[in-house]
Structure 1
Amino acid sequence: MSEVQAQPHGSRRGYLVGFLLSVVLTAIPFWLVMTGVLNSVSATAIAIFACAAAQIVVHVLCFLHLDTRSEGGWTLIAFLFTVVIVAITVGGSVWVMYHINTNTMPGMGPM
């Protein structure tokens, strides 16, 4: 029988840092929306999306342990491939729906 290689797991400190970052990155958008400190709706939306992107990175690194060291980097490559495929699918779907709506709605154009 072949020996099973031990997979690297996170430390208690890594999980605690990930948890605290997740809480902060959740609280910031909540605070921004509830207090209305940013006067612009678009600035608030950009801040929320920035916190969401940062939280995705925190979860991937601290909880999923996807980096170049685990399994020779193949898990990271598979994750990035999945992200690209999902982005193409969602972006293409939105593009197709927009153009179908624009080109097939009779009577909705300028009169």
Structure 2
Amino acid sequence: MAKKSSHFPWQHLIGFLLSIILTLAALWVGLYSGFSMTVIIAIIVTLAVFQAVIQLFMFMHMTESSNGKDQTHMMVHSAFIAVILVVGTLFVLSYGFH
């Protein structure tokens, strides 16, 4: 007899719920906690990193490659481009050329 398999995407549901929980936690920290601004920013950045990791592994199929090198190479390249864009934007906005 054939093995029954569940076609319900449990991994996606768990990832979605974790993302919602992390978003609500960041909202609570930003709006209702009595922490200093430095602590609030540190907590929100930490929660954002956790949420990015959840997104990468549960929704963007980082683990579904034959060797994993392709996804890793693309993510490192994308992060490099993102850092260049953010640093360049901050530089231009802070020390704009007149």
What TM-score bracket applies, with the shorter chain setting the length?
A: 0.7 to 0.9
For residues 54 and 80 of structure 2, the distance between their equivalents in structure 1, rounded to whole angstroms, comes to: 19
Aligned to 2:39: 43
Letter in 2 for 1:20: L
The equivalent of 2:3 in structure 1 is none
What SS is found at the alignment partner of 2:76? helix
Answering whether residue 61 of structure 2 is matched by residue 65 of structure 1, we say: yes
SS across alignment from 1:72: coil
Gaps of 5+ in 2: 1-7
Tell me which amino acid in the other structure corresponds to 2:90: V
Amino acid in structure 2 at the alignment position of 1:27: L
CA distance in 2, matches of 1:35, 1:94: 29
Q: Distance in 2 between matches of 1:71 and 1:90?
A: 32
**Is residue 28 of structure 2 the alignment partner of residue 31 of structure 1?**
yes
Inter-partner Cα distance in structure 2 for 1:97 and 1:37: 31
TM-score of the pair, normalised by structure 2: 0.75
In structure 1, what residue type is equivalent to 2:67?
Answer: G
Greater Rg, structure 1 or structure 2?
A: 1
Aligned length: 90
Aligned-residue offset at 1:71:
4.5
Identity of aligned residues (%): 26
Q: In the superposition, relative to structure 1, how do residues 34 and 99 fare at CA in structure 2: closer, same or farther (>3 Å)?
A: closer
Query: Which residue does 1:75 correspond to in 2?
Result: 71
Q: Provide TM-score, normalisation by structure 1.
A: 0.67
For residue 91 of structure 2, the aligned residue among 95, 98, 104 is: 95
